[in-house]
């Protein structure tokens, strides 16, 4: 598998690259700045660093690892470069206030809005994985959830996700479920703040 990480120089992108490289995956680190991408790739031991557009063209599955505020614009800008290459959207649109972290009030999930601006099949997942847990010495001892409408794209994303955790990658249904998965990010952040923890998710009763 060859994975292009769009926004691979950020905290989550870097942690994702480290875990995938350790799993023996070919990784292309993408960035708006080709030199920054190349430097990060060299530091992390990834295969190569390129612009986001070049990373999108040179992979079997791309991961949209930019901040939620930039996800739609980035997806729109990279739609032509992606073509029909599956795109895994990991961002969650959140609001932060004194009373805690809340999910978006938009009717559609961020992943569904990304799907509306690209031809590529979009899959959503990894929302319960924090960059700190993902980038630790060992794979996180938790499960991760993936949803999407395209069966082949979702299977590829589940295969990728399964390399990241010391648990399971679980099929969470259609892309419409992304609203719940993105909201789960807010829940986990609130738990971590309240209990000073690094919480994850484990699904019971699935064999």
pLDDT in tens, the chain (207 residues): 999 999 999 999 999 999 999 999 999 999 999 999 999 999 998 889 999 999 999 999 999 999 999 999 999 999 999 999 999 999 999 999 999 999 999 999 999 999 999 999 999 999 999 998 898 888 999 999 999 999 999 999 999 999 999 999 999 999 999 999 999 999 999 999 999 999 999 999 987
Cα–Cα dist 152/132, whole Å: 30
Interacting residues of 166 by C-beta distance below 8 A, sequence separation 6+: 138, 139, 140, 141, 142
Helix (H) or strand (E) holding 194: helix 178-195
| Predicted local confidence at residue 26, as pLDDT | 95
| Predicted local confidence at residue 46, as pLDDT | 87
Domain layout of the chain by residue ranges: 2-195
CATH superfamily of 2-195: NAD(P)-binding Rossmann-like Domain (3.40.50.720)
C-beta atoms surrounding 122 within 10 Å: 29
CB 146 within 8 A of CB 170: yes
């Amino acid at each position: 598998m060859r994975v292009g990480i769009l926004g691979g120089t950020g905290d989550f992108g870097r942690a994702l690259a480290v875990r995938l490289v350790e799993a023996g995956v070919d990784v292309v680190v993408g960035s708006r700045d080709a030199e920054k991408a190349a430097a990060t790739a060299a530091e992390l031991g990834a295969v190569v660093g390129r612009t986001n557009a070049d990373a999108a063209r040179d992979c079997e599955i791309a991961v949209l690892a930019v901040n939620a505020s930039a996800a739609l614009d980035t997806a729109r800008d990279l739609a032509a470069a992606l073509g029909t290459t599956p795109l895994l959207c990991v961002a969650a649109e959140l609001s932060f206030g004194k009373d805690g972290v809340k999910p978006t009030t938009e009717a559609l999930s961020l992943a569904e809005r990304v799907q509306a601006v690209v031809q590529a099949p979009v899959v959503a997942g990894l929302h319960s994985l924090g960059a700190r847990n993902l980038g630790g010495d060992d794979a996180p001892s938790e499960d991760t959830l993936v949803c999407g409408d395209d069966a082949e794209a979702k299977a590829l994303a589940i295969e990728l996700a399964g390399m990241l955790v010391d648990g399971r990658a679980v099929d969470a249904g259609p892309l419409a479920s992304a609203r719940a998965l993105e909201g789960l990010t807010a829940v986990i952040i609130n738990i971590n703040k309240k209990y000073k923890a690094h919480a994850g998710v484990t699904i019971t009763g699935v064999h």
